[in-house]
């Protein structure tokens, strides 16, 4: 189901749990999905039951948990693995062990989980976790790379940190927030990789224009929308560079595999965006760049009594307009217009005046929309005249709507 599609049926996710201490993290994934209305069906390997119990997962998922006992002793009309595999929208294997990774690589199936994988055709998300030495074994790396050539499999590589074995290195399973973000995208898009091969450059967050060493002109932008765009693009196969202003670290944690470049001022952002422009296929200006900056900046902190009664200001460069002048006709430039009141009329004006290919107009004076919120709503406009209104939804879902809109607009233009 694409991001713009609607379906009243609950999504069905098979949560396959392998034998590893990281299995405890899966409990949060299961609980969050179930609370959101997703039908979550836990399937535990024999080894997984040494770390979490079927009762725990059944309680969190609000659904019976299946083990090899049900597989071999099932009295259902149809084999259990067939029933599970044919009705699943997504399989999530977390933690994925070296043992199960090897089985999937060679198409082997000797338990309920691996049989269910082979009896299904839906997308599968692989989230490995293991000791660093195990992960770095040549055979394990070979299997991992081999599975990634199968377009059915989507992956989240393990992170680096302190492992349960007290080793510091790669092998740590992705955190629940990142796993949930990828699951959300895969359920929305059915695992399509329609941005594969594209280089996408995204700006996000605010800029700080300093008066002195500690005081600045800024705005409330948190960068959440740009992070959502980066996640959605990456989940759809793109290579992403995220240029962000000052942001809370928590907003950047679920962006594994995304190149991040931190900037502070509008001048910094323009310099970095221009440097990355030649390699970008799509450029998305989601940052809330300041419109003006102090004419003069004090090097140290000014005493309060020394602050000017009148602060001379000068305009900052219009980064989006400058990118539009420098980009090629094959590159796509998407802008944002955060507005109050009538959001559409000024957005059409900005689209044409700046030379954008598309613009996202979003209200900042409505509840649960705009700066700092987890959700948003928007009107999407293209220079070809296409228009689409997107009702309130999560920012990641809005990101998918934006990509669907631009891809559809581009396909119509190229037809």
pLDDT-derived band of residue 8, with 50, 70 and 90 as boundaries? low
Please, what is the average pLDDT of the chain? Answer: 92
Q: What is the CA radius of gyration of the chain?
A: 24
Statement: 199-414 belongs to CATH 3.30.379.10: no
- The domains spanning 12-189 and 199-414 adopt the same CATH topology: yes
Cα-flanking dihedrals φ and ψ of residue 236, to 5°? -95, 10
CA distances from 95 to 101, 166, 313, 331 (A): 10, 18, 54, 39
Distance CA 384, CA 382 (A): 5
What CA–CA distance (Å, rounded) separates 5 from 227? Answer: 23
- The DSSP line for 140-156 is HHHHHHHHTTSTTEEE-
CB 256 within 8 A of CB 174: yes
**pLDDT tier at 413, thresholds 50, 70, 90:** low
Residue 292: count other Cβ atoms within 10 Å of its Cβ: 14
Band (pLDDT 50/70/90 cuts) for residue 4 is: very low
| Class of CATH domain 12-189 | alpha beta
- CA–CA separation, 336 and 251 (whole Å): 20
- In contact, 202 and 231? CB cutoff 8 Å: no
Q: Is 165 a catalytic residue?
A: yes
Interatomic CA distance for residues 43 and 57, integer angstroms: 9
The C-alpha atoms of residue 190 and residue 2 are separated, in whole angstroms, by: 7
Residue in 27, 61, 122, 165 annotated catalytic? 165
For residue 372, the model assigns a pLDDT of: 84
Peptide bond into 132 cis (omega under 30): no
**Domain ranges (residues) in the chain:** 12-189, 199-414
Tell me the C-alpha to C-alpha distance, in Å, between residue 197 and each of 234, 236, 240, 281, 284.
11, 10, 10, 9, 17
Q: Using CA atoms, how far apart are residues 45 and 103, in angstroms rounded to an integer? A: 13
Residues 253, 319: Cα–Cα separation, whole Å: 27
pLDDT greater than 60 at residue 314 = yes
Q: Cα separation of 158 and 134, whole Å?
A: 12
Q: Which tens digit of pLDDT belongs to each residue from 256-293?
A: 779 999 999 999 999 999 999 999 999 999 999 999 99
Classify residue 23 as exposed, middle or buried by CB count within 10 Å of its CB (0-12, 13-18, 19+). buried
Average pLDDT over residues 21-41: 97
The structure's pTM equals: 0.90
Instruction: Note whether 136 and 98 are within 8 A (CB).
Output: no
pLDDT tens figures, 90-122: 999 999 999 999 999 999 999 999 999 999 999
Phi-psi region of 233 (alpha: psi -120 to 50; beta: other; left: phi over 0): alpha
342: pLDDT strictly greater than 50? yes
3-state secondary structure of 2: coil
Largest Cα–Cα distance in the chain?
83
Percent of the chain with pLDDT over 90: 83
Task: Over range 226-236, report the average pLDDT.
Answer: 96
Phi and psi at 229, nearest 5°, equal -65, -40
DSSP conformation letters of 342-388? --HHHHHHHHHHHT-SEEEEEESSSTT-STT-SEEEEEEEETTS-EE
Spatial contact of 45 and 23, defined as CB atoms under 8 Å apart: no
């Amino acid at each position: 189901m694409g991001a713009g599609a609607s379906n009243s049926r609950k999504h069905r996710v098979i949560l396959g749990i392998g034998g590893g201490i990281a299995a405890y993290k899966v409990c949060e994934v299961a609980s969050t999905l179930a609370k959101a209305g997703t039908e979550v069906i836990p399937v535990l390997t024999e080894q997984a039951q040494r770390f979490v119990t079927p009762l725990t997962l059944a309680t969190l998922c609000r659904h019976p948990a299946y083990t090899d006992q049900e597989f071999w002793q099932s009295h259902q009309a149809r084999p259990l693995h067939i029933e599970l595999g044919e009705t699943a929208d997504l399989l999530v294997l977390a933690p994925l062990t070296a043992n199960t990774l090897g089985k999937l690589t060679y198409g082997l199936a000797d338990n309920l989980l691996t049989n269910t994988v082979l009896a299904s055709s839906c997308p599968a998300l692989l989230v490995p976790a293991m000791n660093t030495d195990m992960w770095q074994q040549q055979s394990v790396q070979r299997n991992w790379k081999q599975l990634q050539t199968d377009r059915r499999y989507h992956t989240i590589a393990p992170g680096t940190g302190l492992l349960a074995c007290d080793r510091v290195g790669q092998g740590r399973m992705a955190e629940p927030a990142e796993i949930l973000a990828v699951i959300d995208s895969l359920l929305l898009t059915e695992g399509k990789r329609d941005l594969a091969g594209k280089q996408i450059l995204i700006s996000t967050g605010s800029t700080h224009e300093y008066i002195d060493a500690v005081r600045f002109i800024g705005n409330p932008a948190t960068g959440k929308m740009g992070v959502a765009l980066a996640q959605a693009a990456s989940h759809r196969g793109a290579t992403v560079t995220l240029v962000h202003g000052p942001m809370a670290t928590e907003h950047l944690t679920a962006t594994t595999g995304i190149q991040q470049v931190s900037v502070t001022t509008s001048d910094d952002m323009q310099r970095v965006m221009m440097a990355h422009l030649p390699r970008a296929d799509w450029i998305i200006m989601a940052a809330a760049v300041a419109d003006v900056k102090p004419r003069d900046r004090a090097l140290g902190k000014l005493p309060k009594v020394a602050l000017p009664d009148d602060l001379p200001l000068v305009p900052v460069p219009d980064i989006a307009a400058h990118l539009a002048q420098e980009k090629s006709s094959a590159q796509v430039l998407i802008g944002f217009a955060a507005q109050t009141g009538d959001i559409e009329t000024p957005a059409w004006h900005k689209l044409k005046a700046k030379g954008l290919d598309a613009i996202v107009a979003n209200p900042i004076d409505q509840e649960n929309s705009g700066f700092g919120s987890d959700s948003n709503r928007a009107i999407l406009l293209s220079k070809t005249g296409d228009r689409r209104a997107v009702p309130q939804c999560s920012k990641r879902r809005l990101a998918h709507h934006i990509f669907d809109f631009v891809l559809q607009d581009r396909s119509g233009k190229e037809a």
